[in-house]
Structure 1
Amino acid sequence: MTTPELTFAVLVLLLTPGPTNSLVLLAGAERGVAGAARLIPVELAGYFLTVLPLALAGTTVLADHHGLRTGLTLAAGAWVAALAVRLWRMPGTGGAAASVGARALFVTTALNPKALIFGLVLLPSPDRLAANLALFAALVALVALVWGGIGAVLRKGAGQPRAIFVLRRLASVWLAAISVVLIARGVGA
């Protein structure tokens, strides 16, 4: 895969709404772009925890341990479901607490199903792995700024406490839907 092809494939996948992007959007709505940007190292660490081992040896490990992929999918589904419940239960318009912490973003990103695609399909390359990982890191940062920026714009577009409450509820419903899909995939595997 050429560098432009890889860039396009990674960007399309990273920009797709999912659990990590939902949390970064909420961080942008709650803290602004600068607050969301402070979480970029956490997101990178979460992705690299999964992507790096998979890019180095994932195909071999998953071929030898068929249940591992199913277990990862079920774990991701359960975690995303727990996040959905947590976001739903957060205080209403009077609650000013931030709903997106570093721990939640790290675990969500490490369990993100996209990481499997990055680590097993898009990034592995015997002669270009380091360059691919550097490109991936830059694109993760760029996309995090985009999602954080969207959240910041949404925050300014409406009364802040109510807008954040609505965003939390929407993110909760979206995450619940993603968790159902993940759990169904894990059970069906």
Structure 2
Amino acid sequence: MTEPIAFVLAVIGLLATPGPTNTLLAASGATVGFRRSLPLILAEAAGYLCSILVLAAVLGPATQSWPLFDTALRVLCGTYLAYLAWRHWNAVLDGVEVQPVPFARVYVTTLLNPKALVLAFTVVPHLASGAFAAAVPYLTGLVGLIVLLAGCWITIGACLTAGAAGPSRRRWVQRVSAGVLGLFAVIISGSAFAG
């Protein structure tokens, strides 16, 4: 996809849709607010860039020589998301005060996010063919769009708890994010065995 407008629209369409990373960003915004959640934008950008570059340079050839690799990767992603859902849900049930979403959690979730597969092999031009230098302007644009869209997801989360009295609404957001993460875990793991 070498047309810049099509690239921008594809990235926005992909990254604006709800997903595991966006769920964590919104949960952080709801828990600690916009300003304290800003470092998570860097975690998302770093996670996507690392994942895309590793997928294109190393794992792309591996998936063609080992057909079960894609299945194993999806199961791994689904398992990790199930673990995150369990952690979010138990933090609420145990009465533990909701903690900020850690930088490393957003980074690892983004690193394992299936959207990176689409970005690496379909959306970001020149990567699938190994022409990394030609992909640099698109990767730069991708980072800019990640910053914009991640800020939107954090803002959405912060708006959900704006003016909330006590931790009840924050706990509700935590439960919803646990449910969404669990749903993504089932969908991703299930897609590994479908078809």
Are 2:6 and 1:18 aligned?
A: no
Shift of the alpha carbon at 1:57?
5.1
Q: Distance in 1 between matches of 2:163 and 2:64?
A: 49
Alpha-carbon offset, residue 34 of structure 1: 1.3
Q: In the alignment, does 2:62 pair up with 1:61?
A: yes
Q: Contact (CA 8 Å) 2:124, 2:135: kept in 1 or not?
A: yes
**More displaced stretch, 13-22 vs 66-75:** 66-75
Q: Quick one: which of 139, 148, 157 aligns to 1:142?
A: 148
8 Å Cα contact 1:87/1:99 also seen in 2:
no
Q: Which residue of 2 aligns with 1:131?
A: 137
Is contact 1:93–1:161 with CA below 8 Å preserved after alignment?
Answer: no
Number of residues paired by the alignment? Answer: 189
Task: Please state whether the residue corresponding to 1:90 is helix, strand or coil.
Answer: helix
Task: Provide structure 2 residue ranges, at least 5 long, that are not aligned to the other structure.
Answer: none
* Aligned counterpart, 1:29: 30
Residue 36 of structure 1 contacts residue 144 of structure 1 at CA under 8 Å; is this kept in 2? Answer: no
Written as runs of structure 1 = structure 2, the 5 A alignment for 1:35-54 is 35-54=36-55
Of Structure 1 and Structure 2, the greater helix share is in 1
Letter in 2 for 1:181: I
User: For residues 90 and 32 of structure 1, do their structure 2 counterparts lie closer, same or farther at Cα, with a shift above 3 Å needed?
Assistant: same
Q: Which moved more, 1:71-80 or 1:158-167?
A: 158-167
SS at match of 1:96: coil
Deviation of 1:182 after TM superposition, in Å, equals 1.0
TM-score, normalised with respect to structure 1: 0.92
Residue correspondence of structure 1 range 82-121 to structure 2 within 5 A = 82-91=83-92, 95-121=96-122
Contact 1:56 1:124 in 2 (8 A): no
1:187 shift after superposition: 2.6
Q: TM-score, normalised by structure 2?
A: 0.89
Structure-1 separation of matches of 2:37 and 2:162: 15
Measured in 2, the distance between the counterparts of 1:165 and 1:93 equals 11
The equivalent of 2:73 in structure 1 is: 72
Identity rate, percent: 31
- Taking a change above 3 Å as real, the CA distance of residues 64 and 54 of structure 1, as seen in their structure-2 partners, is same
The alignment partner of 2:92 has SS state of coil
Q: CA offsets, 1:64-104, max 9 Å, x none?
A: 12111111100000000111111011136964331511121
Deviation of 1:155 (Å) = 1.3
Deviation at 1:185, TM superposition (A): 1.2
The CA distance in 2 between the partners of 1:136 and 1:157, in whole Å, is 34
Which segments of 5 or more consecutive residues in structure 1 lack a partner in the other structure? none
Question: Residues 131-154 of structure 1, C-alpha deviation per residue, up to 9 Å, x if partnerless?
Answer: 111011111111110000011111
* Pairing 1:132-171 to 2, within 5 Å after superposition: 132-171=138-177
| Correspondence for 1:172 among 155, 175, 178 | 178
Aligned-residue offset at 1:58:
4.5
